[in-house]
Amino acid sequence: MTIQVVLCDDHTILRDGLRNLLNSEDDLEVIGEAGDGKQAIELVERLQPDVVIMDINMPELSGVEAVERLIAKHPKLRILILTMFGQEEYLFRTMQAGACGYLLKDSPVSDVIQAIRTVMKGGSVLHPELTDKLFASFREKEKPEGEKLSPREHEVLTTLVKGLSNKEIAERLFISETTVKLHISNIYRKLGVKSRSQAIMHAVKEKLIVI
């Protein structure tokens, strides 16, 4: 299956280079490009891509606002942030809005390609520098009382934080994918979240797992 991708970045040269590299992969195809957040929303509505690669700083409508609007209307859309901005405020806001991954533009192209495949499978991706920053920002927080996840749900949550897809979780824990989906649904309900990325953010923020 070919993964259809829309690129959203206001730098034409970057889009040209990334488009050529992605199109050279057998399983990836760039089907549209946008230079600002408004164009991104219009393209997604018209083209219905599998994955959107979104920059943060764009004219007309920022990438952060575009992610919030797109996920609100298309909750199953896979959005991968690719930006030069590594500030926590952008990371938290886009991941809480429902983005599946956050990479910096100094990432190797191979990492970007793998990230597209990972989010398409249901996984999540964070730039290593941002993972360290994320954990450091919450290192001083105490673990909250009354954590109600079952031991198995805790195992599943740990694998979510590690970026595993449902299939990979099932293989690792020797359970069916249907059971994995049930556990994830229970985790969402108990944590009060609506998406995989929100569950990961909550788990890290509240120190529910130990990496």
Render pLDDT for 11-32 as a digit per residue (tens, 0 to 9): 999 999 999 999 999 999 999 9
Q: Determine if residue 174 is left, alpha or beta; phi over 0 gives left, psi from -120 to 50 gives alpha, anything else beta.
A: left
> Is residue 141 very low, low, confident or very high in pLDDT (cuts 50, 70, 90)?
very low
Question: Region 158-180: what's the mean pLDDT?
Answer: 89
- The token pair that represents 56 in the structure block: 């943060």
> How many Å is the Cα radius of gyration of the chain?
17
Q: Which segment of 30-39, 65-74, 127-136 scores lowest on mean pLDDT?
A: 127-136
Q: What is the pLDDT of residue 138?
A: 54
Q: What is the pLDDT of residue 135?
A: 61
- The token pair that represents 38 in the structure block: 């408004």
Measured between its terminal Cα atoms, the distance across the chain in Å is 33
Residues 84-120: pLDDT tens digits? 887 777 888 888 888 999 999 999 999 999 999 999 9
Cα 211 to Cα 203: distance, rounded to the nearest angstrom: 11
Closest CA to 187 of 170, 205, 208, 173: 208
Q: Where are the beta strands (DSSP E) in 23-110?
A: 28-34, 51-54, 78-83, 101-104
121 has pLDDT over 60: yes
Residues 40-63: pLDDT tens digits? 999 999 999 999 999 998 888 888
3-state secondary structure of 164: coil
